[in-house]
Amino acid sequence: MSGAAVDVRNVTKTYGSGATAYTALRGVDFVVHPGEFVMLSGPSGSGKTTLLSIIGCVLTASTGAVSLLGNDISKAKDGELAAMRLSHIGFVFQAHNLIASLSAQENIAMLLELRGYSKTEARREAASLLTQVGLADKLDNLPRDLSGGQRQRVAIARALAGSPPIILADEPTAALDAQNGLAVTELLRALAKEKGHTVVVVTHDNRIFHLADRIVRIEDGLIQENPT
């Protein structure tokens, strides 16, 4: 066992079949150690979201091996993948995907209730998570009454529900101005450095590269050897 948080070996992913088949990953190795803050960067269409989705137990690889914290998920069935996703993965998307009619606290409490928390526990834990991301005074705000950066903080708090060891973020700063983009990235970095989460951020936002422990480049479905 490698002790890695994320261990992807020689993974391929082909979408579709026959004449319309498209191979988005062509033999990818990608290893992330516990507590690392890694950025995955590359042009549009290079396979970043595909790779993140495989790590996040949303998609399965066509061939190759994938392990999360020593658990081989390459051959996991749908139910096992769903369980793995619930216990191991927190996702932050480019668009925050918050429910417009629910307050910040309710957005997170709802998810916690789905995870088995009682209503009271869910509200208390939601408040605690929002406090951790600096939004203690915004619990009752609807998404439309938050700034873009604050909404993305709510999305990060939501990803932290259940304290999954691995946090994955797909272009979390794409819709943010420079200042908010940096603040959100600093928060994600702190989750790795202060709380011990393993964090992988897909981005082509060069304003935030300097905050990464390591930047891995992907192009045309293949990891590029680091030139630096």
Q: Any contact of residue 196 with ligand ADP (CB under 6 A)?
A: no
Of 52 and 159, which has the nearer Cβ to Mg ion? 52
Rounded CA gap, 66 and 199, in Å?
A: 17
**54 and 218 Cβ atoms separated by less than 8 Å:** no
Residue type at 80 in one-letter notation: E
Query: Among 41, 49, 152, 173, which residue sits at the site for Mg ion (rule: CB under 5 A)?
Result: 49
Under the binding rule (CB under 6 A), the answer on residue 50 touching ligand ADP is: yes
Both structure tokens of 39: 């950025």
Residue selected from 41, 46, 105, 150 as contacting ligand ADP according to rule CB under 6 A: 46
The token duo for 93 is 């998307």
CA-atom Rg of the chain in angstroms? 18
48 belongs to the binding site for ligand ADP (CB under 6 A): yes
Q: 125, exposed or middle or buried, with CB in 10 Å at 0-12, 13-18, 19+? A: buried
User: Min. distance of Cβ 23 from ligand ADP in angstroms?
Assistant: 8
- Quick one: what does residue 168 bind among ligand ADP, Mg ion, none, with the CB cut-off 5 to 8 Å set by partner type? none
Give the separation between CA 221 and CA 198, rounded to whole angstroms: 23
Helix, strand or coil for residue 167?
Answer: strand
Nearer to ligand ADP (CB atom), residue 42 or residue 56:
42
Q: Does 47 bind ligand ADP (CB under 6 A)?
A: yes
What x-and-dash track marks residues 96-125 binding Mg ion by CB under 5 A? ------------------------------
Under the binding rule (CB under 6 A), the answer on residue 90 touching ligand ADP is: no
- Our finding on whether 150 is near ligand ADP (CB under 6 A) is no
Whether the CB-CB separation of 137 and 130 falls below 8 Å is answered with no
Classify strands 166-170 and 89-92 as parallel, antiparallel or unpaired: parallel
Contact pick of 49, 107, 185, 198 for ligand ADP (by CB under 6 A)? 49
Residues near Mg ion (CB under 5 A) are 48-49
Residues near ligand ADP (CB under 6 A) are 15-16, 22, 24, 42, 44-50
